Amino acid sequence: MMNKKVNIKDIARLANVSHTTVSRALNNKSRIRKETREKILSIAKELGYRPNFVARSLVMKRTKTLGLVITNIANPFYTELAQGIEKTATKLGYSIILCSTQSDISTEKQYIEMLRSKGVDGIIFSSAHMEDPNIVELAEEEFPIILVNRRTYHPTVKEKIDYVGVDNLHGGFLAVEHLIRLGHKRIGVIGGSVESSVGLERLEGGKKALQAYGLEQRNDYFLEGNFLKRSGYHRGKEFLKMAVMPTAIFATNDYMALGVYQALLEERIRIPEDVALVGFNDIEFSSMKGIELTTIGQKKFEMGAIAVEMLVDRIEKKDDKLSGREVFLEPELIIRKTCGFYLKKYQREPHKP
């Protein structure tokens, strides 16, 4: 057994109980007999199952520490998000350990192991992939976690995990609708990674806007990015090589929009006179003079604060309900200078569903 990774089912089999009962014992949940709890904890300790976490459960003591796992510490989006998380955590008496995965699943797993070994009481994830196995494993163990901005759609755990984020679908709709109302019909969209719910939801929102206004959805105008500036740059160059290029581009985050901006300027394409541009996130750079990017804003600080409050509620109240809670924040269209709003009037009224 020591050469194999021990899981809850191994403990359940030896203790002759269900894996749900094992989860409750390891997480110090209520509605379990004292004798059963002690037996499970003893077996878990003997097998070496999450020794530090089990030890913490044995003494019924918390570390008042939370893990924060993000994809890319260099992305300005996470700066304001982390500020909301840290300030709220401090107010509630918790400290934060920050980890940046660079969108790599194996790196994420290593950080989870490290955080668990340090005995964190819960983990905030803004790095989840659509079918993230690390998230699934934690959810099945009922370890306290919350997803921020990015969701998992894994069928067995989707309904069990708390989530807070902007309404990405509506945000994508607002971005493309804005371009349509400015008279654009050839609209290109740069999505995020297919592994990320964020990019897919924003892309889907953009498609819904095209459909709502009766415009053609050209597959060659939908390009995949990875949320980094260089991917926006390269996708912008791809649009420029098309025989009939878009007159407007929606990049599903500001980082990629800045890459598109650079690509257009290099080819002496005027923004917004020749090509209009919209981003998403409203990072600090987007409002700088000389760029002034039209974008979809989201309340990043508030998002982080809510995430901590929801996670701490799970930890301290030992909420036994299996259903996850979802909080969606409203996106906001922030009109600046990259779409030409001040050069022309809207040609249509907003779409009313």
Give the CATH number, domain containing residue 215: 3.40.50.2300
The 3-class secondary structure across the chain, one letter per residue, is CCCCCCCHHHHHHHHCCCHHHHHHHHCCCCCCCHHHHHHHHHHHHHHCCCHHHHHHHHCCCCCCEEEEEECCCCCCHHHHHHHHHHHHHHHCCCEEEEEECCCCHHHHHHHHHHHHHCCCCEEEEECCCCCCHHHHHHHHCCCCEEEECCCCCCCCCHHHCEEEEECHHHHHHHHHHHHHHCCCCCEEEEECCCCCHHHHHHHHHHHHHHHHCCCCCCHHHEEECCCCHHHHHHHHHHHHHCCCCCCEEEECCHHHHHHHHHHHHHCCCCCCCCCEEEEEECCHHHHCCCCCCEEEECCHHHHHHHHHHHHHHHHHHCCCCCCCCEEEECCEEECCCCCCCCCCCCCCCCCCC
Structure tokens given for 308 = 């901590």
- Residue at 327: amino acid letter: V
pLDDT digits (tens, 9 = 90+) for 288-334: 998 999 999 999 999 999 999 999 998 887 555 657 889 999 999 99
**Domain assignment of residue 113, yes or no:** no
Residues contacting residue 347 through CB under 8 Å, at least 6 positions apart: 181, 182, 183
Mean pLDDT across the stretch 161-184? 96
Q: Considering 298, 319, 346, which residue would you say is the last residue of a domain?
A: 298
Q: Are residues 176 and 294 in the same domain?
A: yes
Q: How far is CA 178 from CA 203, 204, 249, 323, 338, in A?
A: 15, 15, 11, 36, 12
Name the region of 342 (left: φ>0; alpha: ψ -120 to 50; beta: rest): alpha
Strands 187-191 and 95-100, how do they pair? unpaired
Q: What percent of the chain is modeled with pLDDT above 90? A: 59
Tell me which residue range forms the domain holding 270.
168-298
Residue 35: Cβ-neighbour burial (10 angstroms; 0-12, 13-18, 19+)? exposed
**Beta carbons within 10 angstroms of residue 169's beta carbon:** 18
**Domain assignment of residue 222, yes or no:** yes
**Domain assignment of residue 158, yes or no:** no
**Domain assignment of residue 88, yes or no:** no
Distance CA 48, CA 222 (A): 49
Report whether 259 contacts 239 (CB < 8 A): no
pLDDT for the residue numbered 30: 61
**Beta carbons within 10 angstroms of residue 328's beta carbon:** 13
Q: Are residues 172 and 290 in the same domain?
A: yes
Reply yes or no on whether the pLDDT at 27 is more than 80: no
pLDDT for the residue numbered 275: 97
CATH number (domain holding residue 33) = 1.10.260.40
**Domain assignment of residue 211, yes or no:** yes
pLDDT for the residue numbered 47: 86
Distance CA 316, CA 114 (A): 22
pLDDT digits (tens, 9 = 90+) for 221-275: 999 999 999 999 999 999 999 999 999 999 999 999 999 999 999 999 999 999 9
Structure tokens given for 110 = 């290593």
Q: What is the pTM of this model?
A: 0.79
Helices 19-26 & 8-15 angle (0-180, nearest 10):
110
Reply yes or no on whether the pLDDT at 103 is more than 50: yes
Q: Into how many domains does the chain fold?
A: 2
Structure tokens given for 154 = 């894994």
**Domain assignment of residue 334, yes or no:** no
**Domain assignment of residue 303, yes or no:** no
**Domain assignment of residue 195, yes or no:** yes
Distance CA 265, CA 273 (A): 12
Reply yes or no on whether the pLDDT at 281 is more than 50: yes
pLDDT for the residue numbered 129: 77
Distance CA 277, CA 272 (A): 7
Reply yes or no on whether the pLDDT at 157 is more than 80: no
